[in-house]
Structure 1
Amino acid sequence: MSGRWFSSVRARATLGATAVVAVALVAAGIAVLLSLRGNLTSQAEGEADGVAREVAGRIAAGTPYPALDLPDGDENPVQVVDRDGRVLAVSEGLTAISGTGVPDVTPEASPGAGRDDDDDADDPGTGEIGDVTWHGQGSATVDGESDDYRFTQVEVTDRRDETVLVFAGASLGARRDAVGTAATAMLVGLPLLLAVVAAVTWLVTRRALRPVESIRREMAEITASQDLSRRVPEPATHDEVARLARTTNETLTALESSVERQRRFVADASHELRSPIASLRTQLEVGAAHPELLDVPGAVEDTVRLQHLAADLLLLARLDAGERLAGAPVDLAALATEEAAGRPGVTVEAAEPVEVTGSRGQLGRVLANLLDNARRHARAEVTVTVRRSGDRAVLDVADDGQGVPEADRERIFERFVRLDDARGRDEGGAGLGLAIARDVAVRHGGRLTVREAPTGGALFELRLPLAESPLAEKPLDDGA
């Protein structure tokens, strides 16, 4: 069941969207925490800078070190040392410090340092405050409680021109708590937000895929019932699902048409085969009972007609199955001359060789079918013309008969269609010749059409890509 759940598009979409949002939120959370931590550290440095400069200002003004009135150590521990590392002053309650480089927190006596003696005449003036020369992190213990601090170092010259270092710190505890609170809020909120994203994605995907499920159910029912007249529901939208439904219905329509065409083909083929087989059987049965009454020529004729019909049906079956064509060059002019030989009343007009690529046997069948059809309807002559027209080879077969009515010029290419219903089967054939000719033309990337000939009869025009044309390797549809 779990494997089936993970195989659904909705589940994969939900997991994918949740994973992407989770990665994005984690990355954004880390960036926010780092930025918050950096800002709070900068604020701590700013606070430590202010305390250090304030103490440095008092030293530069001549305030004695014991009387500096340093800030409380629990908020801003201060340590004042000279160049030799001797501690001159520390905040009250500071019992330990690290990170400043001077771990001692016990002030030592500094003779004259910051001293305000009574000899005003020898007063050298005000000292000088230097720049912030260092930032660092360390810890301090004030009144028995330890904490982390951000330290600043400022150089200052007192009134006796002695340079001392002022270290001032700003507590990081409150800022660390702020970062921790933000991180906790993110850890709590992240799963909730991911749950909302997963739920919304699940619902939205379910709604989006509901038409797909309807299409699937309908297709399953069509498959089970084999009723190709049914159609899948088409959503009233313009998205991919609606296009899928429309394409599915178009496929069903084409499939229904193909199946119906196949059924008619089988029915017509059975009907056409029944007549010569029944006639042949009758003649054989009569011949078996009365040998002197056996019509051998008639039996042979029925057998030949049956053989031709079987050959036509086999060729149509191969064409419908998409039989791969042989890619050999074929000279249409020579082929037309060859097929016209032995057919009285047929003339061929070809000024030069015209080569196409394809199956010589199938193209020969096309010419034979067109010539046989033209001779059946011609009064006196049939003219075959082979020429070039751009990148196409054109073969025209024209007769001087009655022609084909405009309303029937497409119907004559359907299988088992004979316009002259009163015509005898022996004269008119089974109605497969023109259907085979058009199918072969389309398979060769060309087309076969019919129009009125200059003599008033029918003119069948076969257009095929020339052998040297790029279109020779690209079949065209019937309406090309």
Structure 2
Amino acid sequence: MSRRRPFGSVRAKATLGATLVVAVALLAAGVAVLLALRDNLGGQADAAADAAARRVASQIAAGTPYTELELPDAEDHPVQVVDRDGRVLAVSEDLEAISGTGVPGVTPAPSPGPDRDDDAEDGDDADDPEAGSVGATTRHGEGRATVDGHDAPYRFSEVEATDPRDETVRVHAGASLAGRRSTVGTAALVMLAGLPLLLGVVAVVTWLVTRRALRPVEDIRREMAAITASADLSRRVPEPVSGDEIARLARTTNETLAALEGSVERQRRFVADASHELRSPIASLRTQLEVAAAHPDLLDLPGAVEDTVRLQHLATDLLLLARLDAGERPGDGRVDLGELLAGEVAQRTGDRIGVRAEADAGAVVAGSRQQLARVIGNLLDNAQRHADARITATVRVTGGGVLLCVDDDGAGVPEAERDRVFERFVRLDDARSRDDGGAGLGLAIARDVARRHDGDLTVDQAPDGGARFTLRLPPAEVGSS
């Protein structure tokens, strides 16, 4: 007995799969949000560093001496001014160390710097606002700065400025990244804290939804288990009214159960009828042998031979039906139905009514010669039992295939009985009696063989008022062997 594994069910797999998919999606979305937030805060830091650097560059362009520059608070915006040779001209107060600007120095070197008085004696350049200029931002980068013993990360911006002496310097100004890191870290913590809760909600909802969705499947499984245990094929599984795939599965299951029930019932009837049909000739043959054993002079030898032949024919029919029910394929040989009919008629020299046979040329079909000969023989036997004086067999080639018609001038088959006549062990009247040699299997075998050959066998009224049995078969494909 197999144990039910809780994590082997479809519901558990669906819940686990949905949870994993949502987890991956949330992680990917979280990383994307954090990266976007980090870039956005980095852009804000760049803008703040740019503004601080430009304010200092504007003072230099205006001719303010380096020793008199108004520099922002070093903790907020550490500033370093260097010339083209890398000499430090000015730094923020309390700036103890800096990295990321390309120049690690934090001690200003002696520099004459711009002198407004000297410039004024030389001319009017001191009053000219166009004497210096502020260039574009040339670089952004990250580094660190130590201010009053406190080390922190910064985003640095580099701006070039030209003083009134036409000397170009570089202004490095930083913007603190501590706030960005704190914000990104807080957002990451909030996401990580909320992720398990959200995944738990997803898992619970998925578990409940799949349980509700799969409940009809469990009902179907339970009912199928009960049907298997009880062997009661008349029971049916419940069909949901949803009309979805599960409802179609239940409908197909019920159709399968109905077909199986019908097949089992037909098999039971077949076994019962076969047992009944075999019992009669066996009992008759046994009686004759027992009488012969006690009174040899009373032995009915012809009757014993007749019962033996009947028993042999019945056994042959039952074996053929068993092979057909097992799915025996007819093969793909080429059979000329007209020649086959002529051969069967030529062999029937002892029939009470002669058969008039006509056939079109080229009536070739694909299948088993032996099985098709059996069909023709069964149809002719049936006509011999019912005809009054005339039997006609014709083979015609039509656009839809090949037709074999066997007509008799007997009483015919009532319209209400035309489907039932092909059932096994069915006799419609006294003419189909055991004494006449019929066991009710000939027409059933003939239709089964016809359908195995992708054709059909039907019965209708003949022009003479009797029965017309029509065998329809598809023509053989050109080139088939």
- Higher mean Cα deviation, 400-409 or 420-429? 420-429
Offset of 1:381 from its aligned partner?
2.0
| Residue number in structure 1 paired with 2:116 | 116
**AA paired with 2:265?**
E
Among candidates 401, 404, 410, match of residue 401 of structure 1: 410
User: Would you say 1:389 and 2:392 are equivalent positions?
Assistant: no
Among candidates 371, 377, 381, match of residue 372 of structure 1: 381
How do 1:262-411 residues align onto structure 2 when only pairs under 5 Å count? 262-343=267-348, 344-411=353-420
| Residue number in structure 1 paired with 2:455 | 446
Distance change >3 Å, CA 134–CA 191, structure 1 → 2: same
Q: Extract unaligned runs of 5+ from structure 2.
A: none
Offset of 1:149 from its aligned partner?
0.7
**AA paired with 2:105?**
D
Offset of 1:90 from its aligned partner?
1.0
Q: Does structure 2 conserve the Cα–Cα contact (< 8 Å) formed by 1:418 and 1:428?
A: no
Q: Which runs of 4+ in 1 moved over 4 A?
A: none
**AA paired with 2:245?**
E
Offset of 1:268 from its aligned partner?
0.8
| Residue number in structure 2 paired with 1:11 | 12
**AA paired with 2:85?**
D
CA offsets 1:202-249 (integer angstroms, 9 cap, x no match): 111111111111111111111111111111111121111111111111
Distance change >3 Å, CA 182–CA 257, structure 1 → 2: same
Distance across 2 between alignment mates of 1:260 and 1:35: 72
Q: Does structure 1 conserve the Cα–Cα contact (< 8 Å) formed by 2:360 and 2:397?
A: no
Offset of 1:116 from its aligned partner?
1.4
Distance change >3 Å, CA 143–CA 423, structure 1 → 2: closer
**AA paired with 2:369?**
R
Offset of 1:30 from its aligned partner?
1.2
Q: Does structure 2 conserve the Cα–Cα contact (< 8 Å) formed by 1:356 and 1:467?
A: yes
Q: Does structure 2 conserve the Cα–Cα contact (< 8 Å) formed by 1:334 and 1:353?
A: no
Offset of 1:253 from its aligned partner?
0.8
How do 1:48-127 residues align onto structure 2 when only pairs under 5 Å count? 48-111=49-112, 113-120=113-120, 121-124=122-125, 125=128, 126-127=131-132
Q: Does structure 2 conserve the Cα–Cα contact (< 8 Å) formed by 1:93 and 1:143?
A: yes
Q: Does structure 1 conserve the Cα–Cα contact (< 8 Å) formed by 2:358 and 2:394?
A: yes
How do 1:218-297 residues align onto structure 2 when only pairs under 5 Å count? 218-297=223-302
Distance across 1 between alignment mates of 2:222 and 2:432: 51
Q: Does structure 2 conserve the Cα–Cα contact (< 8 Å) formed by 1:377 and 1:401?
A: yes
What is the RMSD of the two structures over their aligned residues, measured on CA atoms?
1.8
| Residue number in structure 1 paired with 2:423 | 414
Distance across 2 between alignment mates of 1:88 and 1:261: 109
| Residue number in structure 1 paired with 2:466 | 457
Distance across 2 between alignment mates of 1:2 and 1:365: 54
Distance change >3 Å, CA 119–CA 79, structure 1 → 2: closer
Q: Does structure 1 conserve the Cα–Cα contact (< 8 Å) formed by 2:63 and 2:163?
A: yes
Distance across 1 between alignment mates of 2:220 and 2:194: 39
Offset of 1:145 from its aligned partner?
0.5
Among candidates 174, 193, 213, match of residue 188 of structure 1: 193
Distance across 2 between alignment mates of 1:424 and 1:106: 129
CA offsets 1:346-385 (integer angstroms, 9 cap, x no match): 1221120321111111111111001111122122222222
Q: What is the aligned length?
A: 471
For normalisation by structure 2, the TM-score amounts to: 0.95
Q: Does structure 1 conserve the Cα–Cα contact (< 8 Å) formed by 2:337 and 2:365?
A: yes
Distance across 2 between alignment mates of 1:458 and 1:428: 19
Distance across 1 between alignment mates of 2:10 and 2:43: 49
Q: Does structure 2 conserve the Cα–Cα contact (< 8 Å) formed by 1:399 and 1:458?
A: yes
Distance change >3 Å, CA 422–CA 383, structure 1 → 2: closer
Offset of 1:198 from its aligned partner?
1.1
Q: Does structure 2 conserve the Cα–Cα contact (< 8 Å) formed by 1:22 and 1:194?
A: yes
Offset of 1:119 from its aligned partner?
4.8
Distance change >3 Å, CA 404–CA 232, structure 1 → 2: same
Distance across 2 between alignment mates of 1:174 and 1:198: 36
Distance change >3 Å, CA 10–CA 281, structure 1 → 2: same
Distance across 2 between alignment mates of 1:62 and 1:256: 107
Distance across 2 between alignment mates of 1:413 and 1:243: 33
Q: Extract unaligned runs of 5+ from structure 1.
A: 474-480
| Residue number in structure 2 paired with 1:172 | 177
Distance change >3 Å, CA 114–CA 469, structure 1 → 2: farther
**AA paired with 1:82?**
D
Among candidates 410, 434, 445, match of residue 436 of structure 1: 445
Partner-residue secondary structure (3-state), 1:352: coil
Partner-residue secondary structure (3-state), 2:229: helix
Partner-residue secondary structure (3-state), 2:233: coil
Distance across 1 between alignment mates of 2:174 and 2:330: 91
